[in-house]
Amino acid sequence: MNTSHDPQAPAAPHRLDRAGGCPHADNARLLAAGSVADVVLPGEVPGMVVLGQEALREFLAHPDVAKDAVHFTALREGRIPAGWPLATFATVRGMTTADGDDHRRLRSPVAKAFTARRVAELRPRVEACTDRLLDGLAAAADAGGGVAELRRHFAMPLPMGVISELLGVAEEHRERLHELTERVVDTTLGPARVIAANKEMAELLEKVAAARAADPGDDLISALIAARDEDGGRLGEQELTGTLILLIIAGHETTLNLISNAVRALCTHRDQLELIRSGRAEWADAVEETLRWDSPVSYFPFRYPVRDITLDGTVIPKGTPVLAGYSAAGRDPAAHGPDAGRFDITRRAGARHLSLGHGAHFCPGAPLARMEAAVALERLFGRFPALDLAVPEAELVRHRSFVGNSVDELPVRLEP
């Protein structure tokens, strides 16, 4: 029987757009049908996404949900092709793909670098770096007829510089690591380019780690190597490289998107910017509302149920690769009210967003990302109070990824 017009027929799985694009219209449509949806991943791989705020909160902390890809049925059975664009998220060895004792072992030395005290100590260096980059942004605008590309000259080098300094990555490698990061999260790439980007990133970070092993310093890579050597293999070679890949990507790409999205939001909602300038709100409020309203991560891979589980009435079969739908959860009306789609930095009621994770895998760098973004916004708009988008927002080209959520470039005009 042809069920194409049968109202009882199950909806076709949502096919994730490899080119990314703005996720919010699709999210709203999927959320209207339920908190969990079937999706088709690149390579015709079936998966699921958890979109509703409360369902996602439950899922992220569920005792029967794992991060280790040994539980990924299609991968274990050899049904995932070489060069799959999402392979890094599943197979890299590190704390984001580990569970239980292994996760705690890998996370512990990293978490020590991001305590509230360490982040507070970093603030003067972040402020100084921000001011230097604003000088460069002004110079770029002078050379560009008053227009400068904010991501290239400001929003990227700030978090990349901070995480690189924390890790002990020399400045000469930072631009290339950013370029490779962009390729790793780009879900449009073909297999050959995916494999090449992952290989080069691993080799470059192995080179960096070797340099730190030969000449240790007061940095995180040296500390990770020392922990490995002192504890007799506490951190294996693959785990060290995988941890560095994850720290470089998460340590700058997420904050880059957060700063970019916050600037876009404030430029297109001048009333909200005025609330901060008049003292009725703070820059930290703009950061939190941006995290909720336009999460820097849209659909994050992967988690796998170790048995069939049910979320909000939907069964997620054992071994299914599941995406965390952070951009959808942030605008879930069931959690954030009927005006969830409105950017409002004075928002107080409703559930707290999940854009930095929840449960055992909550982002250890969250305090640093929040501080960097607040400092960046305060100093950017303080120095250039008339800063605005140089092109209509609708003309901005979106990121080529359904993992990251932002734009490829953000041209701004610093003066009226």
Measure the CA–CA gap between 383 and 398, rounded to whole angstroms. Answer: 27
Residue 346's CB: how many other CB atoms inside 10 A? 10
Residue 63's CB: how many other CB atoms inside 10 A? 8
Q: Is 171 exposed, middle or buried (0-12, 13-18, 19+ CB in 10 A)?
A: exposed
Predicted confidence at residue 206, as pLDDT, reads 94
User: Does residue 386 carry a pLDDT above 50?
Assistant: yes
Exposure string (b/e) for 109-124, b if CB count within 10 Å is 16 or more?
bbeebbeeeebeebee
Cα dihedral 355→358→361→363 (10° resolution): 40
User: Does residue 30 carry a pLDDT above 70?
Assistant: yes
Q: Name the one residue in this structure whose structure tokens are 């400068």.
A: 148
Residue 268 and residue 330 in contact, taking contact as beta carbons nearer than 8 Å: no
Q: What is the mean pLDDT of residues 106-130?
A: 90
Closest CA to 293 of 255, 249, 324, 333: 333
Question: What does the pLDDT look like over 105-115, one tens digit per residue?
Answer: 888 888 888 88
Predicted confidence at residue 414, as pLDDT, reads 96
Least confident of 53-67, 236-250, 362-376: 236-250
Measure the CA–CA gap between 355 and 57, rounded to whole angstroms. Answer: 11
* Helix, strand, coil content of the chain in percent (nearest 5): 55, 10, 35
Q: Name the one residue in this structure whose structure tokens are 């280790």.
A: 68
Sequence-separated (6 or more) residues with CB below 8 Å from residue 195? 82, 83
- Taking each helix axis as running N to C, give the angle between helix 191-214 and helix 174-185, from 0 to 180 degrees, rounded to the nearest 10: 140
Measure the CA–CA gap between 263 and 411, rounded to whole angstroms. Answer: 11
Sequence-separated (6 or more) residues with CB below 8 Å from residue 93? 236, 238, 239, 241, 242, 243
User: Does residue 174 carry a pLDDT above 60?
Assistant: yes
Exposure string (b/e) for 64-85, b if CB count within 10 Å is 16 or more?
ebbbbbebbebbeeeebeebbb
Q: What is the mean pLDDT of residues 204-230?
A: 87
Listing DSSP states for 209-257 in one string gives: HHHHHHS--SSHHHHHHHHHHHTTSSS-HHHHHHHHHHHHHHHHHHHHH
Q: 1 pLDDT band (50/70/90 cuts)?
A: very low
Number of helical (H) and strand (E) elements in the chain, helices listed first: 17, 11
Measure the CA–CA gap between 159 and 280, rounded to whole angstroms. Answer: 28
Q: What is the mean pLDDT of residues 133-144?
A: 97
Residue 355 and residue 296 in contact, taking contact as beta carbons nearer than 8 Å: yes
Q: How many CA atoms, within 13 angstroms, populate the side-chain half-sphere of residue 177? A: 31
Closest CA to 327 of 361, 292, 356: 292
Q: Is 231 exposed, middle or buried (0-12, 13-18, 19+ CB in 10 A)?
A: exposed
Q: In percent, how much of the chain has pLDDT > 70?
A: 95
Closest CA to 218 of 206, 228, 208, 226: 226
User: Does residue 26 carry a pLDDT above 60?
Assistant: yes
Question: What does the pLDDT look like over 39-53, one tens digit per residue?
Answer: 999 999 999 999 999
Q: 344 pLDDT band (50/70/90 cuts)?
A: very high
Q: What is the mean pLDDT of residues 9-38?
A: 91
Q: Which domains does the chain have, with CATH numbers?
A: 14-413 (1.10.630.10)
> Which residues lie across from 314 on neighbouring strands?
311
Separation of first and last alpha carbons in the chain: 63
Predicted TM-score of the model (pTM): 0.94
